[in-house]
Chain A
């Protein structure tokens, strides 16, 4: 069932995933967690910005945008 973990930034628009773990410093990790991106939460990659960065994701029913740099440190499983 479980697919291998990959960085969130590898997901194409329209794909869905679940957060597995973080490879980020304490401060960044805490901020993401507080915005609701906790381990186990499901999200959808909605789109990339016109210039290719940042990424707009839908998590816990709202839109959150974050840069690829940070998204690369969020390890997810595709759904």
Chain B
């Protein structure tokens, strides 16, 4: 015990704060290299990123990367975390000994707003004046020592991508004694007085009671109501103080903000020399004339998206084939070295095939994250939200919900993880709920099979046409459901859009690589746990109980297994869709992962599928399949109905697992399975019965 306390004290805790786009992550990556750890704060889904580095005298430092935020006034879970860490209110996270506040020198005034708030926290602070090169290029001359003098804390100029200033930054945070900030924005007298008296009522250490009181005073009604559940007494005291301030002719919500900006303005007047208004437009401004242009903007946007998906669906195919062949070879090797037994079946058909079927999507996920990282780093993501916002707001969503939905075309998992940028909780939930309706790449094998059954000699143009229709069905369903959820279950106003459009920058390749590495790790860990367990379960369902006749064909064995019986059991429910019990087995077998439908159907119809690419034998068997009365099973209506079912149904256990993690409850993933299954049933029903009413077969 004694020893651990001592080492904990020896390590200096440094937190790094800053606005989004200030280059905070680049400084974090540069200081810690690959000595990083990603976790979650308890109870919320905000990522906790920590790393180690060594100070200028070799002392160990623990660096905590706070979520990027514009203010400590809480609006999103991310900002709540930043504030709570600085107030020392998060369990398992120590109040930092020193804060590095990263500011973008080329956008100084707004970046200093967060600094002004951080200085009020009474924690030793070092300001990293980042991107000084960009500021200089724009003609801003910053007098660093004057800025430091005015702010009352050390200011270190840095150029993070080039590593400039990092040694000095380390030196500054390793100083033996770090004084607390001596200056901060002076508050109007009445606000200062009310904050002091409110601070006395709070049960906090005096050094955090004042900043806490100041944050409370500026709360607007809605967040006060949220707080009311926790402490009625403090809410009353806050409301009284706000009334007193109003009576004195000041607005408690805006006066502190304006006081801080007035202070910042005065500092910048002394420390920054700016060019006149007539300066030349920057390269970034000129790029925006094209990239957000009424017509060219769309061309660039659609071109970028098309290129991204081209890479996801074609370039990724090469490594995907490698992974497939590795897992195939592994399965064959195990099969060749073990006697035929249940254990062998479990290993080859259950574990290797099941996990291999998910790991095969890793290249697509990596490519997607590569592009998302570049779009984010270059600043184009904000432009995509700017262009798409109008469409998204029609269904009550935010331009920022667009990226998660777009990512879901590759895979819903990164899409749902990307919803973290959506501030409003309800909007984030709506986005999570509808994201899996976008046709992901796991649906492609199902579409390919059903299109082949529907039109064996279709030209690639016809195939692409049908495929496109399925994508459109998914998009329309996603927007319609988002609209419906926003009107009913998750009713809230269309969120406000306040989007910073940062200047275009070169991406940080190191940062992009680190993010890809992290995501791949998360994905593989899930494949190794949840998906492994489910693969075993589904294998068991499709294997037991075993047929009494040991010479029974695999198709008969499957029919007698639990999965086969479940297929029979659900037949009454799917008969109105025109599906028979064999299709029922396919639906059950692919409950965990859609693409399993193809391999399940090949077992159902007893077709050897030695070659995964070649679906011709299965296609022909399915085309020849007849009902008891001699009519074909796979009529065009059934084929289309089945595809529509797969567009709309959840059928993906990895998505269920990630939704469970991101929403912190089972309620939403279960609701999602329920509504999507219902939607899929209604969709397939409408196709089948509607088609029959119109006289088609």
Residues of A bordering B, CB below 8 Å: 25-36, 38-39, 46-47, 49-54, 56, 60-67, 69-70
- Verify if B201 is at the interface (C-beta below 8 Å from A): no
22 A-B contacts (beta carbon < 8 Å): A29-B254, A34-B70, A38-B261, A46-B288, A47-B292, A49-B386, A49-B387, A50-B294, A53-B389, A54-B389, A54-B499, A56-B288, A56-B292, A60-B109, A61-B106, A61-B110, A63-B501, A63-B503, A64-B498, A64-B500, A67-B393, A70-B498
A41 and B496 CA atoms in complex are apart in Å by 21
Instruction: Give the residues in chain B near A39, CB-CB below 8 Å.
Output: 258
A53 and B393 CA atoms in complex are apart in Å by 10
A50 and B291 CA atoms in complex are apart in Å by 10
Given contacts A65-B386, A70-B496, contact A31 B75 (CB under 8 A): yes
Interface of A is mostly: mixed
A27 and B221 CA atoms in complex are apart in Å by 8
Contact, CB under 8 Å: B73 / A67: no
Contact, CB under 8 Å: A49 / B293: no
Q: How many whole Å from A40's CB to the nearest CB in chain B?
A: 9
Instruction: Give the residues in chain B near A29, CB-CB below 8 Å.
Output: 253-254
- Verify if B32 is at the interface (C-beta below 8 Å from A): no
A38 and B261 CA atoms in complex are apart in Å by 8
Instruction: Give the residues in chain A near B441, CB-CB below 8 Å.
Output: none
Given contacts A30-B253, A38-B261, contact A66 B73 (CB under 8 A): no
Q: How many whole Å from A38's CB to the nearest CB in chain B?
A: 5
Q: How many whole Å from B298's CB to the nearest CB in chain A?
A: 6
Contact, CB under 8 Å: B220 / A26: yes
Contact, CB under 8 Å: B501 / A65: yes
Of B254, B258, B389, B502, which one neighbours A49 at CB under 8 angstroms? B389
Given contacts A47-B292, A49-B292, A63-B500, contact A36 B390 (CB under 8 A): no
- Verify if B297 is at the interface (C-beta below 8 Å from A): yes
Residue of A nearest to B72 (CB): A34
Given contacts A29-B254, A50-B297, contact A36 B498 (CB under 8 A): no
Instruction: Give the residues in chain B near A52, CB-CB below 8 Å.
Output: 390
Instruction: Give the residues in chain A near B71, CB-CB below 8 Å.
Output: 34
Residue of A nearest to B222 (CB): A27
Residue of A nearest to B117 (CB): A34
Contact with A along B67-88 (1 / 0, CB 8 A): 0001101010000000000000
Q: Which of B206-235 contact A (CB under 8 A)?
A: 218, 220-223
A38 and B75 CA atoms in complex are apart in Å by 19
A25 and B253 CA atoms in complex are apart in Å by 10
Of A34, A51, A62, A65, which one neighbours B107 at CB under 8 angstroms? A62
Q: How many whole Å from A48's CB to the nearest CB in chain B?
A: 9
Contact, CB under 8 Å: A67 / B258: no
Of B110, B293, B389, B501, which one neighbours A35 at CB under 8 angstroms? B110
Instruction: Give the residues in chain B near A28, CB-CB below 8 Å.
Output: 496
Contact, CB under 8 Å: B389 / A64: no
Residue of A nearest to B497 (CB): A67
- Verify if B369 is at the interface (C-beta below 8 Å from A): no
Q: Which of B381-438 contact A (CB under 8 A)?
A: 382, 386-387, 389-391, 393, 399
Given contacts A26-B220, A50-B298, A65-B386, contact A36 B109 (CB under 8 A): yes
Q: Point out which of A39, A49, A64, A70 has the most chain B C-beta atoms below 10 A from its C-beta.
A: A49
Contact, CB under 8 Å: B253 / A32: no
Given contacts A35-B70, A38-B258, A49-B390, contact A62 B110 (CB under 8 A): yes
Q: How many whole Å from B305's CB to the nearest CB in chain A?
A: 15
Of B387, B390, B399, B501, which one neighbours A64 at CB under 8 angstroms? B501
A36 and B288 CA atoms in complex are apart in Å by 22
Given contacts A54-B497, A63-B500, contact A36 B113 (CB under 8 A): yes
Contact, CB under 8 Å: B257 / A30: yes
A14 and B496 CA atoms in complex are apart in Å by 24
Of A25, A31, A49, A60, which one neighbours B498 at CB under 8 angstroms? A31
Residue of A nearest to B398 (CB): A67
Q: How many whole Å from B599's CB to the nearest CB in chain A?
A: 44
Instruction: Give the residues in chain B near A36, CB-CB below 8 Å.
Output: 109-110, 113, 261
Residue of B nearest to A26 (CB): B220
Of A31, A38, A56, which one neighbours B496 at CB under 8 angstroms? A31
Q: Which of B221-277 contact A (CB under 8 A)?
A: 221-223, 253-254, 257-258, 261
A27 and B254 CA atoms in complex are apart in Å by 10
Contact, CB under 8 Å: B499 / A65: yes
A26 and B109 CA atoms in complex are apart in Å by 23
Q: Point out which of A26, A34, A64 has the most chain B C-beta atoms below 10 A from its C-beta.
A: A34
